[in-house]
Amino acid sequence: MKILTFNILLVFICFDTILAADEHTAITLQQAKEVGRAKSRFLKAADVETKAIDAIPTANVAYHAESVAAILNKSCLACHGPEHSEGRLRVDELNPDLLTGPDVERWREVYNVLSNSVMPPEDESDYALADTDRGNIVDWLSDELNKASLVRRNTKEHSSFRRLTKYEYNYALQDLLGLPYALANRLPPETASEDGFKNSSDLLQMSAMQFETYREIGLQALKRATVSGERPESVTYIISTQEEMEKLTGKDPAKTFDTNDDSNSKQRNQQHLFNRETSQGIQFSGGKAKPQPDAVVGQTPAVSPVVLVLPRNKELKLDLDRFLPDEGIMRVRIRAGRSTMNPDEYASLRLIFSAHTSNNANFSQTISERDIPVTASSDNPEFIHFDIPLSDIQRNPFRKLTTTFPRRDEFLHIRNVSNAGAGEERLNVLIDYIEISAPFYEQWPPKTHTDIFFASNNKGDEEVYGREVLNRFLRRVWRRPVTADEVDQFMGLFAKYRPEFSTFEDAMLEVLATALATPEFLYLTQRTTTEATEGPARISDVEFASRLSVFLWSSIPDDELLQLAEQGTLRNPEVLVAQVERMLADPRSKRFPQNFVQQWLGMDGLDSVTHITDESLKEAMQQEPVAFFDEVLRHNHSIMDFIHSDYAVVNERLAAHYGIRNVYGPQFRKVSIEPQTNRGGLLTGAAVLAMNSDGKDSHPLKRGVWMLERIIHDPPPPPPPNVPEVDLTDPEILKMTLKERIADHRNKAACVSCHSRIDPWGIAFENYDAMGKHRTHINNKPVDATSELFNKQTLAGMDGLKRYLLTDRQDQFARAMVHKMTAYALGRPLAFGDRADIDSLTGQFFRNGDGLGDLVHLIINSDIFNSK
C-alpha cells in the first residue's frame, strides 16, 4: 500500500512540473477542471476510503524513528527546533504517537503545510525537501491521522442533540400549524459558530426568558390558527373602474382627454382611467374607498371596457380610511392584464401600506412578500391576489383616535413594478376590478382550525375527543408515536384547565401550547438505546426523519415522512432516494439553499454594509449565491462550478450590474456568459465582493480571509501580537497604491508569516471594486492583481486564482465542501475525530463525479448522518 500511494504522488508531481511551465494560460478554465480532477488523491487512491477496522489500530512510531524524524530534522529543525521555534513549533519535540500522544493538532498542521507544499519555503534551498521524502512523510501522516481519527471517533462523545435554531423553530411552527407568517421574530438572534453555522449544537443556548418567549409564541400561533364562534363580518371595498370613471366624468367632464391624441402623451404616461371603447381617458390616482356592507367577495364580473392604466413605476393609492380590522388576513384581489406581450418585458404588482402620522411625516412599507407578475393579456385579464396579515404590518397607531388629528386613515398602494421600455407600444398594467376584504377566510372554519380540531364522531365526548386531538397533535409536535401515558399526562392538564374556559377548544389550546414548549419540540433528540451495536450507535428511524427534514426543509417532518419512519421503511434504499427526491421537489426545500448558503458564505455580512444604496441591487446580490447554489443542486452540476462556471445565475438588475445583456425580469435564471464578463462561480459574486470591502474600496485582507475560511476551509491563525497598524499619516505611505501598502506592511517581520498566507488570495480579487464591479484601472493606474502565494505559486488575478484552485486544489475544496455541508446537516461542529468520515465521504463523492445533488444523497446515506 505504501508503494501504491507513492506512485500516485509521483503522478501528482509530474502534473505539477508540466503545469509549472506556461501551459497554465493555454488551457481554458473548463480544461483546468479536467486536469485538476485527474490529479485527485481521492480519485486515485481507493484505499483512502476508511474501512471498518477489526482490531484497535496502533501507532506506527517505528517509521517515524527510522525515517520521518531524520527528514524533519534535516529540513525543518533550523526554524522549528531548539534555536528558533517559529510558530511555537518544534519538530524534534512532537510526540510521534498520534493515537495517544498530545500533539495530533500540531501534526495536522505539519501535514497541511507539507501536503500543500507550503513548507519548507522555496527560497530556503538548503532545507529543500526531496519529493520522495515529502511523499513519504505525507503518506505516513495521512495514515496516522486517519487512525487517530478513527480512534477518537470511537472514544470521544459527539452530539447533535440541540435546540432548533430560531429559523428552524419558525418553519416548524409554520409547517405544523399551516401558518405562512413570520412567527418567531421575538426570539433572540443565534450566534454563528467558527464555521459560520448558526445550527451548531454547542452554541444553541436556552434561558428562562427564551423559554417564556417560546410559550408565548406557541400560544399566540395556536390562537392564530384557530377560530371560535361565528364567522366574523368582513370589511370589504370594491373598486370598479367603470363606476369610478362614471363618477369622475360626471363630476368634471372637461378633464377627460382623448388617448389617441399624441398631444396628451403626458397624461397617457400617468396612471389614468381609460375607456377602451371610446378611447376617452381621465386622470385617476386613487382616492377614498368606502366599505360596502353588502358586498359579495370573490365575484368575477364581466370584463369592463374601462380600465385603470398603470404605467411602469406608477401606483394607485387608495385611502381605506380607518375601517380595516386589527387582525386577520386582508385579501386584495386584482384583475389585471398586460397591454403588450413582449416577452422581454415584465410587469408585476406590489402592495405598499402607508399612513400620514403628522403634518410632515408619514410612513410606508411594502407589505406584499413578493411582487406578483401580471402575465395575462388585457383582453383576457386574470385575477391575482395578495394575502396580508394585518396584525403583522405597521398600522397607523392613530386609527382609533376619536379626534381627527393626527390623520387616522390608512392607505393601500398598488404599484406597477416593471422593466417596460419607453417605446411606442408601452407595456402598462390594465386593471378593471379590485376587491379588498378583511378578515378574509377561504373557508369557515379555516383549514388551520380543522387540522387541529378535526371532524370526529366523538366530538361530543370531551374525554375521548380530547385524547384524539392530543394524540394527533403530539405525534406531529414530537415527530414520533405517542404513548397513552403521555396523552394521559396532557389530559390531566386539560382537566385542570377546562373549568376556567367556556369552550373545549379554548382550554385545549392552552394544553397544546404547553406541548409546544416541551423539549421534544424545541430540541432534536436522540435517545440512547439498550441494544448493543458495533461502532457508533445509529439514531432511530423517527430521529432520522427529523434530522433529514431539518437538513433539507429546516423544519419538522411531514406526515408521509413520519409514517415511513414509524413503519421502519424510511431508510430502505429505494424509499429513501424517492423521499429525498420528493423533499427536494417540495417548495420547503428552498430553505436549504437559503439557510445553508447564507451561513456557509457568511452572507450576514452584507446586512451591515451601507455603501449599496440601491435596495433592488442589494437584494439581487443577496439572492445570487442562493440561486446559484440552487441551480447547481437541482441540476447536479459539479461543485467545481462554485469555483468557476461558464454560466451565471442572475436577474435583470444583477445582469445590468455585471454587464450581461438580454436578461429581463426579476427572476433569477441561468445564462451563458463569455470569459470577458469576468464572472462565473461564487468568488466573483457581487455580494461576496461587496461585503468584503471597506465600503469605499476593495479589502484584500477580508477577501483573503473569506476565501480561506469559507471556500477552502483553511482558516488563517489569529493575528499575532506586535502588529503595527498602517500609519496613514505617513506621507510616504499615502503615496503608495493599496497593493504597495499591503506589501510594505507584509514586509515587516512580524506580519509576513500570516499575511503572506492571506493577502495573495485577496489581491487576486483586485479587479473587483467595493460594489463588486469589474475594473481594469484604479485611479488611472492599471489594476495589478497578480500575487504570489506562500508556496511561490503565482496567481494572475481572478482567472489565475480560479485556475490554480481548479488544477491544484480540487481535493481541498471538495473536502471543504463536504465538511461544511456535513457540519450543517448534523448541526454540530466537526471535530478532528470526524476526519475519517469526511475523507471517506469526500472520496466516494469524488469518485461519483462531484455533483452537488449527489453529495446531498451521499451525506444522508452516510454513517455519520445516521449515527448519534
Partner 1 sequence: MNNKSNSLNRRSFLHGTGLALALPWFETFASARPEVDQTPKRFVSVYHPDGVGLPLKSDPAWKDWSWFPRGGEKDFELTKVLDVLEPLRSDITIYSGLSHPASRQVHGHSNADQYLTGAATGGHGPYKNSISLDQVYAEHAGDLTRHASLVMSTNGGVGGPRGAQTQSFNREGRPIPAMNKPKQIFDMLFVTSSKDAAARLARSKSALDLLIENTKSLGRQLSGHDQETLKQYLDAVRDTEVKLAKAQRWIDTPIPEVDTRNLHLDAEPKEARLYFQTMYELIYLSFLSDSTRVATFQLGRENGEGPHDLLSQAVGLGGAHGLTHDVKSPNGWQNLGTYNRYQAEEFGRFAQRLKDTPEPTGKGNMLDNTLAMHGSASSSFHLSRNYPIITAGGANFGFTNGRYLKFGKGNEDNQAGAGIVTDAGWQGKVDVEELPLAKLFVTILQRLGVETDSFAGDTGTLSGI
41-49, 74-82, 390-398, 409-417 -> range binding partner 1 (CB under 8 A):
390-398
Q: What is the closest distance, in whole angstroms, from the C-beta atom of residue 497 to partner 1 in the complex?
A: 6
15-23, 203-211, 414-422, 778-786 -> range binding partner 1 (CB under 8 A):
203-211
Do residues 710 and 721 touch, judged by C-beta distance below 8 A? Answer: no
Q: At what angle do helices 69-76 and 131-155 cross, to 10 degrees?
A: 120
336-344, 640-648, 675-683, 721-729 -> range binding partner 1 (CB under 8 A):
721-729
397 binds partner 1 (CB under 8 A): yes
401 binds partner 1 (CB under 8 A): yes
User: For 479, how many CA atoms within 13 A lie in the half-sphere containing its CB?
Assistant: 30
343 binds partner 1 (CB under 8 A): no
Given candidates 613, 722, 779, 780, which one binds partner 1 under the rule CB under 8 A?
722
Question: In this structure, what is the dihedral angle of CA atoms 663, 665, 667, 673, given to the nearest 10 degrees?
Answer: 0
Given candidates 127, 441, 523, 832, which one binds partner 1 under the rule CB under 8 A?
523
Nearer to partner 1, 28 or 159 (CB): 159
Given candidates 265, 443, 608, 779, which one binds partner 1 under the rule CB under 8 A?
608
Nearer to partner 1, 130 or 723 (CB): 723
Q: What is the closest distance, in whole angstroms, from the C-beta atom of residue 605 to partner 1 in the complex?
A: 9
C-alpha span between 282 and 769 (Å, rounded): 48
Nearer to partner 1, 327 or 784 (CB): 327
Footprint of partner 1 on residues 528-557 (CB under 8 A)?
A: 528
Q: What is the closest distance, in whole angstroms, from the C-beta atom of residue 525 to partner 1 in the complex?
A: 7
Chain centre to alpha carbon of residue 325: 35
484 binds partner 1 (CB under 8 A): no
C-alpha span between 220 and 522 (Å, rounded): 16
| Rounded CA Rg of the chain | 32
286-294, 375-383, 421-429, 496-504 -> range binding partner 1 (CB under 8 A):
496-504
Nearer to partner 1, 78 or 738 (CB): 738
124 binds partner 1 (CB under 8 A): no
Q: What is the closest distance, in whole angstroms, from the C-beta atom of residue 473 to partner 1 in the complex?
A: 15
Nearer to partner 1, 52 or 208 (CB): 208
13-21, 124-132, 513-521, 582-590 -> range binding partner 1 (CB under 8 A):
513-521
Annotate each residue in 315-334 with x if it binds partner 1 (CB under 8 A) or - if it does not, as one string. -----------xx-------
Contact partners, residue 242, CB within 8 Å, separation at least 6: 304, 305, 306, 432
Nearer to partner 1, 139 or 190 (CB): 190
613 binds partner 1 (CB under 8 A): no
489 binds partner 1 (CB under 8 A): yes
> Of 54, 57, 154, 56, whose CA–CA distance to 868 is shortest?
154
Do residues 340 and 423 touch, judged by C-beta distance below 8 A? Answer: no
Q: What is the closest distance, in whole angstroms, from the C-beta atom of residue 157 to partner 1 in the complex?
A: 5
Question: Please, which residues bridge with residue 352 across strands?
Answer: 366, 413
Given candidates 2, 496, 635, 792, which one binds partner 1 under the rule CB under 8 A?
496
Nearer to partner 1, 215 or 774 (CB): 215
Nearer to partner 1, 722 or 780 (CB): 722
Question: In this structure, what is the dihedral angle of CA atoms 753, 758, 761, 767, given to the nearest 10 degrees?
Answer: -110
C-alpha span between 400 and 396 (Å, rounded): 9
Q: Does residue 471 sit in helix, strand or coil? A: helix
209 binds partner 1 (CB under 8 A): yes
Given candidates 82, 229, 343, 724, which one binds partner 1 under the rule CB under 8 A?
724
C-alpha span between 275 and 282 (Å, rounded): 9
Q: What is the closest distance, in whole angstroms, from the C-beta atom of residue 168 to partner 1 in the complex?
A: 16
Nearer to partner 1, 125 or 608 (CB): 608
Q: What is the closest distance, in whole angstroms, from the C-beta atom of residue 520 to partner 1 in the complex?
A: 6
C-alpha span between 337 and 342 (Å, rounded): 13
What's 481's DSSP letter?
Answer: -
C-alpha span between 628 and 487 (Å, rounded): 46
Nearer to partner 1, 118 or 474 (CB): 474
Q: What is the closest distance, in whole angstroms, from the C-beta atom of residue 71 to partner 1 in the complex?
A: 32
527 binds partner 1 (CB under 8 A): yes
309-317, 389-397, 651-659, 791-799 -> range binding partner 1 (CB under 8 A):
389-397
514 binds partner 1 (CB under 8 A): yes
Q: Total residues at the site for partner 1 (CB under 8 A)?
A: 70
Chain centre to alpha carbon of residue 769: 24
Given candidates 3, 62, 302, 728, which one binds partner 1 under the rule CB under 8 A?
728
Footprint of partner 1 on residues 140-199 (CB under 8 A)?
A: 157, 159, 161-163, 186, 188-191
C-alpha span between 451 and 226 (Å, rounded): 9
Helix (H) or strand (E) holding 415: strand 411-418
Contact partners, residue 78, CB within 8 Å, separation at least 6: 84, 126, 127
For residues 294-315, b (16+ Cβ closer than 10 Å) or e, as one string? eeeeeeeeeebebbbbbbbebb
Contact partners, residue 723, CB within 8 Å, separation at least 6: 750, 751
Footprint of partner 1 on residues 74-103 (CB under 8 A)?
A: none
C-alpha span between 107 and 832 (Å, rounded): 12
What's 392's DSSP letter?
Answer: G
Chain centre to alpha carbon of residue 413: 31
Helix (H) or strand (E) holding 308: strand 306-310
Nearer to partner 1, 186 or 231 (CB): 186
Burial class (CB in 10 A: 0-12, 13-18, 19+), 676: exposed
Given candidates 26, 55, 208, 422, which one binds partner 1 under the rule CB under 8 A?
208
Nearer to partner 1, 188 or 298 (CB): 188
Q: What is the closest distance, in whole angstroms, from the C-beta atom of residue 404 to partner 1 in the complex?
A: 11
> Of 248, 268, 269, whose CA–CA distance to 260 is shortest?
268
> Of 789, 649, 705, whose CA–CA distance to 122 is shortest?
789
C-alpha span between 621 and 686 (Å, rounded): 6
Footprint of partner 1 on residues 680-719 (CB under 8 A)?
A: 695, 719
Q: Which residues bind partner 1 (CB under 8 A)?
A: 157, 159, 161-163, 186, 188-191, 201, 203, 205-212, 215-217, 219-220, 223, 326-327, 391, 394-395, 397-398, 400-401, 403, 406, 489-490, 492-493, 496-497, 500, 510, 513-514, 517-520, 522-523, 525-528, 608, 610, 695, 719, 721-725, 727-729, 868
